[in-house]
Amino acid sequence: MENVKEKFDVVVVGSGNAGLCAALSARAAGASVLLVEKAPQEWRGGNSFFTGGILRFAFRGLDDIKSLIPDLSEEELHSIEVEPYTEDQFYNDMLRITEYLTDADLALTLIRESFPTMQWLRDQGVRWTLAFGRQAFRVREKFRFWGGLVVEAVGAGAGLVGVLFERAVKDGVEIRYGSKATRLLMASDGSIAGIEIRGAQGFYEVDTSAIVLASGGFEANAEWRCRYLGKDWELAKVRGTPYNTGDGIKMALDIGAQPFGHWSSCHAVAWDLNAPPHGDRKVGELFQKHSYPLGIVVNIKGERFLDEGADFRNYTYAEYGRRILTQPQRVAFQIFDSKVVGLLREEYRIREVTRAEASTIEELAKKLEINVEGLVRTIREFNAGVQPGEFNPAILDGKRTKGVSPPKTNWALPIDAPPFVGFAVTTGITFTFGGLRITPRGEVLDMESRLIPGLYGAGELVGGLFYYNYPGASGLMAGAVFGRLSGAEAARYATLLPKGDPA
Ligand SMILES: Cc1cc2nc3c(=O)[nH]c(=O)nc-3n(C[C@H](O)[C@H](O)[C@H](O)COP(=O)(O)OP(=O)(O)OC[C@H]3O[C@@H](n4cnc5c(N)ncnc54)[C@H](O)[C@@H]3O)c2cc1C
């Protein structure tokens, strides 16, 4: 009997935020949709599951926020101060943070579609809440939200993808777990004709004229990390899923897609020294240690090597994680005194934390195995360099050091109030910046910058948005924006093709 191949209008590869948005939007546009996910069901949701569920988007003021969170109480409304975050501000952040290298067309699409996509996600059933405790500080009885980050998904990343999976099932998206996309099949005219998948029973092919690749970056591929990011990167810990090994990027490159973006760079953060080699779904993102602007960061010699107060945390953390890898033994220590301990983020209070406390700096250094003389000298010189001024963690307060190298440009307080606490961290890679070149509609381009008809890309595997650094919470937003756009575009392309034509 002839082996009849299955046929779907659109096949989406990867069940993270980008893939789910693509699948939902393709389905809403009338396409039959197959979503294949390499991981088993208990690992579904990719890196998106691990996130704090915060999204960066442009908005005009409190009314926009209220439209996303209609159940905000009067009491909550009176207890907050929210500065607008305009499209211009978002664009300036993208330019500044990426050293003016971000692709303007992609960045502008991300920015202009960000608020409509937040509303679209709300309409898919995602519930939003104010991001208290993450990007807000209490200033004179009011919580002040700063840096454009105001809203997170209820239940964080797990809540976000949980809702999208529920909706996908309800809308009739067929989801297959333990199903790895292994090869893109092409028609002789260069368009997409199908996809090869490896499932529990082995390899099989599915006919389709449109594929959305949303299978993440290559951060969990130690060999590619070393190949593209460089020396020692195979030794970094992976913050999220172990399944993002660059498969979608490779499959597309194999058929002539164009590599784009900053292949030798990535997003990485300070991550607990004793965290497992890849993400733990119970602990999630809480191995991160993001409160360094409140203290100092030293290496094992006890020496500072970065400006902890250069900018708001969400503009420096992605770059500073990378710097730890260049320090001796790839380790760093965040040191705080009792004046600021109460301000540390929740991730400092988890059970799985590498922490020491002591009543003197010498004792703290011994407990953390930092060079004692080095740390004592560093803190003595640092304290002597702290300038007067009002400490205010909600603004760039300009309270800085003088005569200390590297300087601390904001939030510089002397470390002089015992007990002292220290946290040991290493580099945890989040995602890679290099990937495929797409148009603002999500269409993948080939080496000659022509369309590969029927091939789309979204999420982490897209190159060209982030260079050197990344404005916090743009990853989920980019995945949602380009997932939604590429899903709709793939559906339009697939369903408008004359029937019977392979592509
Ligand atoms: C700990 C942590 C915290 C973060 N916090 C935030 C945050 O608060 N805000 C924010 O904006 N960003 C955050 N990020 C970044 C964010 O996770 C990513 O930008 C975003 O989730 C990427 O979505 P994606 O859909 O492209 O990839 P993913 O969510 O990683 O999904 C990719 C999926 O593809 C699957 N896959 C891979 N290869 C194949 C294959 N061959 N066949 C089939 N399936 C395949 C994988 O198994 C995975 O499920 C965080 C990341 C981490 C790790």
Q: Whose CA is nearest to atom 14 of ligand 1?
A: 51
pLDDT tier at 498, thresholds 50, 70, 90:
low
Q: Whose CA is nearest to atom 4 of ligand 1?
A: 51
At residue 127, the pLDDT reads 97
| Amino acid sitting at position 251 | M
Please determine, for residue 152, whether its predicted confidence score (pLDDT) is greater than 80: yes
Q: Is 325 exposed, middle or buried (0-12, 13-18, 19+ CB in 10 A)?
A: buried
Q: Whose CA is nearest to atom 10 of ligand 1?
A: 473
> Phi first, then psi: what are they for 319, rounded to 5°?
-85, -40
pLDDT tier at 309, thresholds 50, 70, 90:
very high
Which residue did the predictor score with more confidence, 293 or 136? 293
Please determine, for residue 172, whether its predicted confidence score (pLDDT) is greater than 90: yes
Q: How many CA atoms lie within 13 A of 222 on its CB side?
A: 7
For residue 47, which atom of ligand 1 is closest to its CA? 30
Q: Hey, what CATH class is 6-218+433-496 in?
A: alpha beta
Q: State pLDDT tens for residues 433-452.
A: 999 999 999 999 999 999 99
pLDDT tier at 3, thresholds 50, 70, 90:
low
Q: Whose CA is nearest to atom 2 of ligand 1?
A: 51
Comparing CA positions, the residue from 15, 54, 428 lying closest to residue 240 is 428
377 CA to centre of ligand 1 in angstroms: 42
Structure letter (DSSP) for residue 348: G
Query: Region 158-169: what's the mean pLDDT?
Result: 98
At residue 1, the pLDDT reads 44
The structure's pTM equals 0.93
For residue 180, which atom of ligand 1 is closest to its CA? 42
At residue 133, the pLDDT reads 65
Structure letter (DSSP) for residue 387: P
Neighbours of 136 (CB within 10 A): 21
Q: Does an H or E element contain 237, and which? A: strand 237-238
CA 379 to chain centre: 33
At residue 313, the pLDDT reads 87
At residue 136, the pLDDT reads 64
3-state secondary structure 86-141: CHHHHHHHHHHHCCCCCCHHHHHHHHHCHHHHHHHHHHHCCCEEECCCCCEEEECC
**High-pLDDT (> 70) share of the chain, %:** 96
Is the torsion defined by CA of 434, 435, 438, 442 positive or negative? Answer: negative
Dist CA 181 CA 160 (whole Å): 24
Do 267-428 and 6-218+433-496 fall under one CATH topology? no
3-state secondary structure 180-197: EEEEEEECCCCCEEEEEE
Is the torsion defined by CA of 26, 28, 30, 36 positive or negative? Answer: positive
Q: Does an H or E element contain 245, and which? A: none
Please determine, for residue 485, whether its predicted confidence score (pLDDT) is greater than 60: yes
16 CA to centre of ligand 1 in angstroms: 5
pLDDT tier at 279, thresholds 50, 70, 90:
very high
Please determine, for residue 269, whether its predicted confidence score (pLDDT) is greater than 50: yes
At residue 314, the pLDDT reads 81
272 CA to centre of ligand 1 in angstroms: 20
Ranges 63-72, 118-127, 161-170, 189-198: which has the least confidence:
63-72
Ranges 25-34, 141-150, 162-171, 255-264: which has the least confidence:
141-150
Structure letter (DSSP) for residue 367: H
Distances from the Cα of 274 to the Cαs of 226, 277, 327, 333, 345, in angstroms?
21, 9, 17, 13, 19
204 CA to centre of ligand 1 in angstroms: 25
For residue 19, which atom of ligand 1 is closest to its CA? 25
Q: Is CATH 3.90.700.10 correct for 267-428?
A: yes
The residue to mutate among 476, 481, 485, having the most atoms of ligand 1 within 8 angstroms of its beta carbon, is 476
At residue 78, the pLDDT reads 85
Residue with tokens 């240690």: 289
Residues in contact with ligand 1 by the CB-under-6-Å rule are 13-19, 36-39, 46-48, 50-55, 180-181, 214-216, 239-241, 243-244, 247, 285, 430-431, 459-460, 473-477, 479
Domain parsing of the chain, residue ranges: 6-218+433-496, 267-428
Q: State pLDDT tens for residues 245-263.
A: 999 999 999 999 999 999 9
Query: Region 110-135: what's the mean pLDDT?
Result: 92
For residue 287, which atom of ligand 1 is closest to its CA? 1
Q: Whose CA is nearest to atom 18 of ligand 1?
A: 475
